Amino acid sequence: MLSPTKISDPVRRAAPVLAPSSLPQDFETWFREHRTAVFRYVRFRVATREAAEDVTSEVFMKALRSFDRYDENRASPRTWLLRIARNAITDHLRAL
């Protein structure tokens, strides 16, 4: 009988590598709160786990680069991140 394997958080390995002091405080919180939801959203739509990790990493890098343009009156952080994820998935699928 096979023993159950422990599943680690896949996004933790795909996290953007930046010095903690260089991240906006809100972005750190957003990453911790939404990384699993973004990964699950992406994983459901791409073929492999590895591709999902790559796309999820790209989502957070794009979000970080455009963090100053986020408008809280237009969307919640989760909605904004999932829209970026949707666009990143489209880019990924077009590149195949």
Q: What's the pLDDT score for residue 6? A: 47
pTM of this prediction exceeds 0.85 = no
pLDDT for the residue numbered 12: 53
In terms of Cα–Cα distance, which of 73, 77, 43 is closest to 60?
77
pLDDT for the residue 53: 97
How confident is the model over 38-96, as pLDDT tens digits?
999 999 999 999 999 999 999 999 999 998 898 989 999 999 999 999 999 999 999 99
Task: Give burial (CB, 10 Å; 0-12/13-18/19+) of 58.
Answer: buried
Query: Could you tell me the pLDDT band of residue 9, with boundaries at 50, 70 and 90?
Result: low
Instruction: Tell me: pLDDT of 14 over 80.
Output: no
- Binned at pLDDT 50, 70 and 90, residue 7 comes out as very low
Domain residues of the chain, as ranges?
Answer: 46-96
